[in-house]
Amino acid sequence: MEVSTITAILDTTLAVVFTWVAYKTGQIIWKYTPYSYPNARIKAMEARLLSDQRILELSESRTLQNFVVNLEDSDYGSRLTSIENVNLRNVEMALELSLVDLLELMVKIMPKRVKGFFELLEEGIDVRNISNVIKAKLNGLPAQDYIIPAGKMLPKVKAIIEAKTMEEILVILEGTEYEEPLRKLLLKEITVQEFELELYRNYYTKLFRYASSRKGEEKVILLEFVRMLIDERNISTILRAKMAGMPPEDLKKLIIEGGSLSKATLDAMVNAEDHVMAIGELEGTKYGQVIRDVREELESGNIEAIERAIRKYRLTRMKELAQFYPLSVGVALTYILEREMEVRKLRAIAKLIVDGVKPEKIKELVGEVA
């Protein structure tokens, strides 16, 4: 072979190999590096999740004061120790605020390309606050008791609480996405239920749009997460509406699109005779096993059982995804769900302690309520 031929072959090989290697290396680094820090941090936080043994010990606290003291060395310590007057409401609030702190931390440490999702999850607090305040105002209840003192719109929420009339609230919410649904509510074009749904519909749509705009495994994980959130809400809405005897035409308006359940399944559930028949429609879906596990409770009218079962399913599914994609947003979402479940357990224990339930009974109940 000619010398020039050898060098030409070598140079071309070199160029091809390097282009390919540079592309692949860049791709791998871009994909995984941003998750390295946050995921290790979250895993370290997971080590501090309360063990079953610890939960049982907390069930033996006997007084709310002891309960708070026993949690001082946990992730809830900073929020709980800052309570001036230890009562159930303040303890529950401190636990809720610890979840808000967690979301804020996620916004700080997660990679830029998924940070927006956690900001949107934080917006859920605003939706909950505004919806609760409006409902409380309409029912003449003290709105202050129904809010979490957090969220981007907290100043507006506080102003709404102080407002004397609904028109004043409309002025406060002017220019926000909450203005239009409230206007419709005041003009009696929609019911309170539909107003609340409208807020959640907007919220879930935003989450769905964000998840859809991502790429690769982020899209897969975020979309599955959002779809399960929507499914939980739709199933719960349908079953509750069926138990309340709501006509299918009205119920149809309350369905949120974007979940993993097909339109046919949702239609069949909406048109089912009663909640038991509606549950039956879920048999062929991915929630079939979830339903079978709580069927008796559901048929007896305990709709909370399905919400609880779907939450557990969601956590299991996210854990699977986090194991499959160890350096991904799945780890953070799993941890958030784990903490939410833990907070539910802690709130239940606190409530049972205040109600004077014996520790043995609390231990029995805490697994069921969470």
Residues interacting with another protein, by CB under 8 A? 1, 3, 6-7, 10-11, 14, 17, 21, 25, 28-29, 32-33, 36-48, 109, 326-327, 331
Nearer to another protein, 332 or 370 (CB): 332
Would you say 71 and 58 are in contact if contact means Cβ atoms under 8 Å apart? yes
Nearer to another protein, 26 or 367 (CB): 26
Rounded Cα–Cα distance for residues 149 and 134 (Å): 16
> Shortest distance, CB of residue 214 to another protein, whole angstroms?
20
> Shortest distance, CB of residue 268 to another protein, whole angstroms?
43
Count of all residues that appear for the chain in the document: 370
Q: Which residues contact 170 (CB under 8 A, 6 or more apart)?
A: 179, 182, 183, 186
> Shortest distance, CB of residue 11 to another protein, whole angstroms?
7
> Shortest distance, CB of residue 200 to another protein, whole angstroms?
34
Nearer to another protein, 166 or 327 (CB): 327
Nearer to another protein, 32 or 146 (CB): 32
Rounded Cα–Cα distance for residues 370 and 368 (Å): 6
Nearest by Cα to 157 from 188, 125, 199: 125
> Shortest distance, CB of residue 345 to another protein, whole angstroms?
20
Residue 334 in tokens = 């799993």
Nearer to another protein, 131 or 328 (CB): 328
| SS3 annotation, 135-167 | HHHHCCCCHHHHCCCCCCCHHHHHHHHHCCCHH
Nearer to another protein, 22 or 277 (CB): 22
Would you say 216 and 325 are in contact if contact means Cβ atoms under 8 Å apart? no
Nearer to another protein, 7 or 65 (CB): 7
Nearest by Cα to 121 from 210, 254, 215, 32: 210
Nearer to another protein, 48 or 292 (CB): 48
Rounded Cα–Cα distance for residues 258 and 226 (Å): 8
Residue 291 in tokens = 């339903």
> Shortest distance, CB of residue 93 to another protein, whole angstroms?
25
Would you say 311 and 232 are in contact if contact means Cβ atoms under 8 Å apart? yes
Residue with tokens 């100043």: 155
> Shortest distance, CB of residue 34 to another protein, whole angstroms?
9
> Shortest distance, CB of residue 44 to another protein, whole angstroms?
3
Neighbouring CB atoms inside 10 A of 81's CB total 12
> Shortest distance, CB of residue 76 to another protein, whole angstroms?
15
Neighbouring CB atoms inside 10 A of 93's CB total 17
> Shortest distance, CB of residue 367 to another protein, whole angstroms?
23
- Residue 159 burial (C-beta neighbours within 10 Å; 0-12, 13-18, 19+): middle
- Residue 235 burial (C-beta neighbours within 10 Å; 0-12, 13-18, 19+): buried
Rounded Cα–Cα distance for residues 348 and 242 (Å): 28
Nearer to another protein, 41 or 295 (CB): 41
- Where on the phi/psi map is residue 285: left (φ > 0), alpha (ψ -120 to 50), or beta? beta
Nearer to another protein, 109 or 136 (CB): 109
